[in-house]
Chain A
């Protein structure tokens, strides 16, 4: 009964630096996840050009019949996007929380190289806690 299917974090050049799936519905193997990440990066960039008005910041929400995709882009071009059940609420705030965890436990880690895959156990454990809290809140409705 997972409301969230998967979470992706991609760096400013479109490479996948973090991927986590929640439940079997969102699971995909490494190659597929890399492909999806670079696909999304390109789509996001193209959408900025498609906008009829200037100053578009890219796709924030993609709604399909079986899933929703919420995307958050930081000022530095790092993109956080989550694939979830259609109609899941509060995904934007969840993405902001994940961004804060990223700035805390990844960027302040001296052993993390910028733009490289994230391998920080503190980030993983705090992320699980944040998703769990979110899940509990969602299930309690």
Chain B
């Protein structure tokens, strides 16, 4: 049986199919790498808001790439043009691939038309992190907010995305909410599309 067991060799590297990739990565390895990312940025900034901005920028780069990869892998190169479509893409597909589960909830803001919230009982990136009291409202989830902003920006839905701790009664640890505030043009386009 000639040829059995021989891996097909591709002459052009661009013709090689993109592999599915390993579905699972060690959580400890990621936690240490993320901890190092935060510590590295801490030494290069003077205040907390700059640290948050740096983490967000790091996440933005991830988000832009994740969008491209998932559009190709999961959605057969189709892109979302509607607001709810892209939001459910972030809430389900992106979360599932990055964190192993869909986000806990997706809500529309009650006060403003352009605000949406993705909530999570505890972000994976924050699992082992205890914020010291003197850092106030700093949230390492700014990294995840950056990822969401990268995905939305790349898909044509510019938005301002931030991560907040929301204290819950009866629970020690506060919930985390990713607040997405879309730009004016997104809402106008959405209204035009009907």
Q: Which residues of A contact B (CB under 8 A)?
A: 104-105, 107-111, 119-123, 125
Q: How far is the CA of A51 from the CA of B16 in the complex (A)?
A: 62
Q: How far is the CA of A110 from the CA of B31 in the complex (A)?
A: 9
Number of A-B contacts (CB under 8 A): 38
* Contact between chains at B172 and A110 (CB < 8 Å): no
Q: Which size class do B's interface residues fall under? A: 10 to 19
Q: Can you report 28 A-B residue pairs in the complex whose CB atoms are below 8 A from each other?
A: A104-B128, A105-B128, A105-B130, A107-B32, A108-B28, A108-B35, A108-B129, A109-B128, A109-B130, A110-B34, A110-B35, A110-B36, A110-B37, A110-B39, A110-B129, A110-B140, A111-B38, A111-B129, A111-B132, A111-B135, A119-B132, A120-B130, A121-B130, A122-B128, A122-B129, A122-B130, A123-B130, A125-B172
A120 closest partner in B (C-beta): B130
Binary CB contact string for chain B from 31 to 56 against chain A (1 if under 8 A, 0 otherwise): 11011111100100000000000000
With a CB–CB cut-off of 8 A, which chain A residues contact B140?
110
Q: Indicate if B61 sits at the interface (CB-CB under 8 A).
A: no
Q: Indicate if B183 sits at the interface (CB-CB under 8 A).
A: no
Q: Indicate if B168 sits at the interface (CB-CB under 8 A).
A: no
Most buried by B among A105, A110, A123: A110
B30 closest partner in A (C-beta): A108
Shortest distance between the CB of A109 and any CB in chain B (Å): 5
B35 closest partner in A (C-beta): A110
With a CB–CB cut-off of 8 A, which chain B residues contact A105?
128, 130
B132 closest partner in A (C-beta): A111
Q: How far is the CA of A129 from the CA of B128 in the complex (A)?
A: 16
* Contact between chains at A108 and B130 (CB < 8 Å): no
* Contact between chains at A109 and B172 (CB < 8 Å): no
In-complex Cβ contact of B35 among A109, A119, A123, A125 (8 A): A109
